Amino acid sequence: MITIKVKVYGGVAPIPIEVFIDRDVNSHDDDIIIRSPVSFQQDVDLNRGEYAIVVSGKNPIDGRTEITIAGHDSTGKAINLSKTKTVANYFASFIINI
């Protein structure tokens, strides 16, 4: 299981935050999409494998968004990734191995 936390500072995001989780680029059978109009924290159960995670959205004027992905891989090693986006329209990508 991983926890995805997206925190918007400086106001409300003008468009919904979107998180796209893809395990197999050749198939869309197990893709996960999370959409939220506000900051959120959500646990996601993932099977073993390599995942691409893309977070996109738009910051409020003079705002920023902090994105954190935390959990453990299949060997018990901690996953703790984060990015801060200060541009108006952003996208952040992560590759994790569960």
Residue 7 to residue 86: CA distance in whole angstroms: 12
pLDDT for 91: 97
The pTM (predicted TM-score) of the whole model is 0.91
User: Strand order of the sheet with strand 64-72?
Assistant: 40-44, 2-9, 64-72, 78-85
Residues of the domain holding 13: 2-97
The tens digit of pLDDT for each residue in 4-55 reads 999 999 999 999 999 999 987 666 677 999 999 999 999 999 988 889 999 9
What is the strand order of the sheet 50-58 is part of? Answer: 32-36, 17-22, 50-58, 89-97
pLDDT at 86: 98
Residue 61 contacts residue 11 (beta carbons within 8 Å): yes
Closest CA to 44 of 56, 29, 55, 34: 34
| More confident site: 74 or 5 | 5
Domains in the chain: how many in total? Answer: 1
Provide the pLDDT confidence category of residue 3 given band limits of 50, 70 and 90: very high
pLDDT of residue 27: 65
